[in-house]
Every structure is written in C-alpha cells, then in structure tokens.
C-alpha cells in the first residue's frame, strides 16, 4: 500500500511540474504572438490552473493522497475545459487558428500539450480519488 501511495504522490507531482513547464511555454507564446488575456482569464489561470494543482499536490504529499488527487482532478478538469474552449472552440484571438506569425506553431502545440496533460491529470487524479480504500 505504501508503495502505491508513493507512486501516486510522485506521479501527481510530476504531472503538476510538467503542466507548469507547458504553461510557461504557452504563456510565452501568448506574449510573442501578441495574444492578450482579460483580467478574469488571467485570474482563472493563476488560481485554478497554476495554484490549485500545486496546492493539491501539497495535500497529496503531506495529508491525504485521495483528497489531494481529487483536488488535482477538479483543477485539471476546469483548466482543460477552459483551455479547450479558448484554444479550439470559441472564435476569439485565443483560438489557435486565429494566431499567425512566427509563434503560431508554438502556440498551437503548447495549447494542444496543455489539453493533453490536463486531461491526463484529470483522469489520473479522478482514478486515485475515487478508488475504494484498502
């Protein structure tokens, strides 16, 4: 049991760190492609997509892995929905097909990478949070 919990905690931490790296890359592409965000979008990204996953990992590492994983799953699901709609559905400057120039490819690939890591984070966190206690 201790080995499984350790694996789950480490995997949550790795997912959170990879997510941060991809977020930084995507944020840089926003700057270089001159795609601005509203104040509300920035708050959402800072609180839900950046702070909450890190706080969830802290809870998983220090307190309760299932609770931390549940918080992680919620934050990743919310970040996934936000990013998916913004980058792939809603016609706005943030829609990947509206981004042109030298950083259009970085913008698209980092947005796609965010969607993949956020969905994976949701699925992994949800799996841990909803498993039956042993």
| Predicted local confidence at residue 11, as pLDDT | 95
pLDDT in tens, 43-102: 999 999 999 999 999 999 998 999 999 999 999 999 999 999 999 999 999 999 999 999
Give the confidence band of 3 by pLDDT, cuts at 50, 70, 90: confident
Average pLDDT over residues 10-15: 96
**Tokens 């941060």 identify what position?**
20
Give the confidence band of 134 by pLDDT, cuts at 50, 70, 90: low
Does residue 21 have a pLDDT over 90?
yes
3-state class of 18 per DSSP?
helix
Average pLDDT over residues 15-30: 97
Which secondary-structure segment (H or E) carries 32? helix 2-32
pLDDT in tens, 112-132: 999 999 999 999 999 999 988
- Cα–Cα distances (Å) from 81 to 28, 84, 122, in that order, read 21, 5, 11
| Predicted local confidence at residue 50, as pLDDT | 96
By the 8 A CB rule, do 48 and 75 touch? yes
Q: Rounded to an integer, what distance in angstroms lies between the CA atom of residue 75 and that of residue 25?
A: 19
Cα dihedral 89, 129, 109, 83 in deg (nearest 10): 30
Exposed, middle or buried: residue 23 (CB in 10 Å: 0-12, 13-18, 19+)?
A: buried
Predicted TM-score (pTM) of this structure: 0.92
Average pLDDT over residues 31-43: 94
Rg (CA), the chain: 16
């Amino acid at each position: 049991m201790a080995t499984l919990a350790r694996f789950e905690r480490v995997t949550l931490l790795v997912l959170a760190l990879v997510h941060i790296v991809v977020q930084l890359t995507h944020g840089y592409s926003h700057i270089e492609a001159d795609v601005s965000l509203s104040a509300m979008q920035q708050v959402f990204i800072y609180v839900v997509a950046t702070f909450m996953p890190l706080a969830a990992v802290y809870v998983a590492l220090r307190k309760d892995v299932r609770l931390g994983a549940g918080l992680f799953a919620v934050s990743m699901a919310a970040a996934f929905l936000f990013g998916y709609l913004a980058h792939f559905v809603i016609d706005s400057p943030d829609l990947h097909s509206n981004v042109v120039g030298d950083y259009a490819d970085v913008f698209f690939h980092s947005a796609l990478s965010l969607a993949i890591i956020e969905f994976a984070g949701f699925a992994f966190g949800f799996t841990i949070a909803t498993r039956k206690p042993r």
